[in-house]
Chain A
Amino acid sequence: MSSSNAIVFVVDDDPSVRDALSNLLDSVGLAARTFGSSEEFLSFSRPEVPSCLVLDAKLPGMSGPEFQEELRRTGIQIPIIFITAHGDVPMTRKVMKAGAIEFLTKPFQKGELLGAIRHGLEADESRREDQAVVSALMSRYEKLTTREREVFDLVTTGLMNKEIAAKLGLSEITVKIHRRQVMIKMEAASLADLVRMADKVKTQSSP
């Protein structure tokens, strides 16, 4: 497994299925945490480690697909592997479209479950890494002055120093100084690097 501190969450109303899943995950060296209902899972304060959720599609109260929608709505990002005794095609399509990793029919084989879990944990880990990169980038961006941000925006859209100077009503020398400052503060090695950063900054601040 890519990360040794990863946790697999299991939500199933049947205690023996929960117990069995926890035993299986334990046997392959994965930490597991089980819950009898979606409410229990929500009230648990999850540590910030790579994780994924093995979710019974058929739960008392809020059903699996409803819970998936609820998580999406509240901005909780976690890869979901659905397990069900009798999955119908419309339900499968719905949850897969909503981003589920896998939809497994009980009783499932070890390979398909562990494969899906591995996939889920990797996805969550890379999401978390991206998240870390983006938040570092954002904190660097925050440190730029207003003028420097203006220069950053215009440089990354591909304008020449001369054009930027004309647009902002500054001398070309001043623009050069700002630009140098931006490169240092953003820890960019090249203009291409800075452009990539600008893409991430834009997607993060636009919504």
Chain B
Amino acid sequence: MNASEPVSRSKFAVFGAPSFWARIGLTVVFVAIAFLASLSLQHLFPYPFLFLFFGAVMAGAWFGGMAAGLLAVVLSTVLVDYFFVPPFYSFAVNATASSYFAAFVVCALVASWVSSSRKKNAEALSVARDQLELRVLERTEELRESNIELQEREKALLHSQAELARLSRVMSMGELTISIAHEVNQPLTAVVTHGHACLEWLSADPPNVSKARQTTQRIIQDGTRAGEVLGRIRALFNNEMPEKAPLDINRLIEELTWFVREEAANRGIVIRTELASGLPLITADKVQLQQVMLNLIMNGMDALLEKGGDKEIVISTRRSGDESEIMIAVSDSGVGLTPEQAEKVFEPFFTTKPHGIGLGLSISRSIAEAHAGRLWAEPRATGGAIFQLAIPIQQQADYV
């Protein structure tokens, strides 16, 4: 919509602006009607009947503006003087009628002025209203557009958040590559070795079929195990949008510790779990919660890097005091946190690691919040740090 359009769309434009001569003509017509009506009604009144001329003046001023109003005044004055003010049929005015006549002229002038200025205001008001309407329309359209844009941006944001979360997951998994490779390589080694043994059993004279059969079964078992390992890795790397479903948090933690135990052993770290039994299921996205837990565990391991002595990470689960939440704590005996750091670590791009990008904990906290939960850190009394994750327990949740 264009800013230049409003005038043509106003009500004047619809009826067309009357030309100068049309306004003059209209005024003359009004005065003529008033004159003829007054003339025919005069015999009913004992005094000059002039009020219809005020109507003609006001109508002329209304439709024709100030100039037409004045023209109506002049015409009316002339007609009134000639036909209605004694001596009749003469332009002369006698003394008794002069004040009456003067009053008429003044009234006619005032009426003309009032009418034309009322008209002007009405027009101005109408223009303003039209413009206002137009502005409202414009703004509505703008709002609609920006709303669409906002929705698109939100969608893009969700997408990039999911992608970022996935990347951070891939990075954490990257740190575990060697351990994971080991987990896959073990069953593969068994498969290859059994395969060689199987060939030996079959090429013996006579072939030892029963041993070969047993061996083949082991090959199947170990091959299946290798497949399961890959399945677990794929589940952690998957690229789907978040999907919440009932989830057993203890089982999730057990699966994850399976992933990290190899890496932990390499670094001389013991991972211990203290999982409360009979916890209700929580409604959560499994991959996202795995990511939070993996982040917390890997952070714990990094915190233990520069520390001598016993290196331990404890993962515990319990219900909160009021039974409304499940509390998951990951504590380490590492370098620990100062109270300021305890909040700062959740800021994006804050990192204490030489090769960190500082997104892990900030993503983890946003995941916790997306689950109506909380994630925070505090120093541990005996040295080190505790990261606590609280996730609300759903009403009517199934118990495990």
Residues of A within 8 A of B (CB): 14, 16-17, 19-21, 23-24, 26-28, 58, 60, 83, 85-86, 106-110
**A24 near B190: Cβ-Cβ < 8 Å:** no
B198 to A, closest residue via Cβ: A27
Complex A-B: 13 CB contacts under 8 Å: A16-B225, A17-B186, A17-B189, A19-B190, A20-B189, A20-B218, A23-B197, A24-B197, A24-B200, A85-B181, A85-B186, A86-B178, A107-B188
CB-CB contacts below 8 Å: B188-222 with A: 188-194, 196-198, 200-201, 204, 208, 211, 215, 218, 221-222
Q: How far is the CA of A109 from the CA of B193 in the complex (A)?
A: 8
A83 to B, closest residue via Cβ: B189
B208 to A, closest residue via Cβ: A27
> Chain A contacts of B208 at CB under 8 A?
27
B182 to A, closest residue via Cβ: A85
CB distance from B22 to the nearest CB of A (A): 100
Check A17/B190 contact, CB under 8 A, given A23-B215, A27-B211, A86-B181.
Answer: yes
Q: How far is the CA of A85 from the CA of B185 in the complex (A)?
A: 7
> Chain A contacts of B197 at CB under 8 A?
20, 23-24, 26-27
User: Beyond the given A23-B215, A83-B189, A86-B181, could you list 18 further A-B residue pairs with CB under 8 A, ordered by the A residue number?
Assistant: A16-B186, A16-B190, A16-B221, A20-B191, A20-B193, A21-B193, A24-B194, A24-B200, A26-B197, A27-B196, A27-B215, A58-B182, A85-B182, A86-B185, A106-B185, A107-B192, A109-B192, A110-B196
For residue B233, CB closer than 8 A to chain A, the reply is: no
Check A16/B215 contact, CB under 8 A, given A86-B182, A106-B189, A107-B188.
Answer: no
Number of A-B residue pairs having CB atoms within 8 Å of each other in the complex: 77
Q: How far is the CA of A58 from the CA of B181 in the complex (A)?
A: 13
For residue B64, CB closer than 8 A to chain A, the reply is: no
For residue B103, CB closer than 8 A to chain A, the reply is: no
User: What 9 A-B pairs have minimum CB-CB distances, sorted nearest first?
Assistant: A27-B200, A20-B193, A107-B192, A110-B196, A106-B189, A20-B190, A107-B189, A24-B197, A16-B190
For residue B187, CB closer than 8 A to chain A, the reply is: yes
Q: How far is the CA of A26 from the CA of B198 in the complex (A)?
A: 11
B262 to A, closest residue via Cβ: A58
Q: How far is the CA of A45 from the CA of B36 in the complex (A)?
A: 144
CB distance from A150 to the nearest CB of B (A): 58
**A19 near B185: Cβ-Cβ < 8 Å:** no
Q: How far is the CA of A83 from the CA of B200 in the complex (A)?
A: 21
CB distance from A104 to the nearest CB of B (A): 10
For residue B265, CB closer than 8 A to chain A, the reply is: yes
Contact partner of A23 among B187, B193, B204, B225, CB < 8 A?
Answer: B193
B183 to A, closest residue via Cβ: A85
Q: How far is the CA of A108 from the CA of B103 in the complex (A)?
A: 127
**A23 near B189: Cβ-Cβ < 8 Å:** no
Check A20/B194 contact, CB under 8 A, given A27-B201, A28-B200, A86-B178.
Answer: yes
Residue among B185, B193, B211, B218 with max Cβ neighbours from chain A (10 Å): B193
> Chain B contacts of A23 at CB under 8 A?
193-194, 197, 211, 215, 218
**B193 near A17: Cβ-Cβ < 8 Å:** yes
Check A24/B182 contact, CB under 8 A, given A16-B221, A16-B222, A19-B218.
Answer: no
Residue among A26, A28, A85, A110 with max Cβ neighbours from chain B (10 Å): A85
CB-CB contacts below 8 Å: B246-292 with A: 265
Q: How far is the CA of A23 from the CA of B208 in the complex (A)?
A: 13
> Chain B contacts of A110 at CB under 8 A?
193, 196, 200
CB distance from B176 to the nearest CB of A (A): 13
Residue among A19, A60, A109 with max Cβ neighbours from chain B (10 Å): A19
> Chain A contacts of B211 at CB under 8 A?
23, 26-27
> Chain A contacts of B215 at CB under 8 A?
23, 27
**A107 near B201: Cβ-Cβ < 8 Å:** no
> Chain A contacts of B189 at CB under 8 A?
17, 20, 83, 85, 106-108
Check A107/B178 contact, CB under 8 A, given A23-B218, A24-B200.
Answer: no
> Chain A contacts of B182 at CB under 8 A?
58, 85-86
> Chain A contacts of B194 at CB under 8 A?
20, 23-24
Q: How far is the CA of A106 from the CA of B193 in the complex (A)?
A: 10
> Chain B contacts of A24 at CB under 8 A?
193-194, 196-197, 200
> Chain B contacts of A107 at CB under 8 A?
185, 188-189, 191-193
Q: How far is the CA of A192 from the CA of B32 in the complex (A)?
A: 165
CB distance from B200 to the nearest CB of A (A): 4
B200 to A, closest residue via Cβ: A27
**A16 near B187: Cβ-Cβ < 8 Å:** yes
CB distance from B38 to the nearest CB of A (A): 118
CB distance from A6 to the nearest CB of B (A): 17
> Chain B contacts of A27 at CB under 8 A?
196-198, 200-201, 204, 208, 211, 215
CB distance from B60 to the nearest CB of A (A): 105
Q: How far is the CA of A107 from the CA of B188 in the complex (A)?
A: 7
**A20 near B185: Cβ-Cβ < 8 Å:** no
> Chain A contacts of B188 at CB under 8 A?
106-107
Q: How far is the CA of A108 from the CA of B193 in the complex (A)?
A: 8
Q: How far is the CA of A83 from the CA of B189 in the complex (A)?
A: 10
A27 to B, closest residue via Cβ: B200
> Chain A contacts of B198 at CB under 8 A?
27
Check A60/B265 contact, CB under 8 A, given A19-B190, A27-B211, A110-B196.
Answer: yes
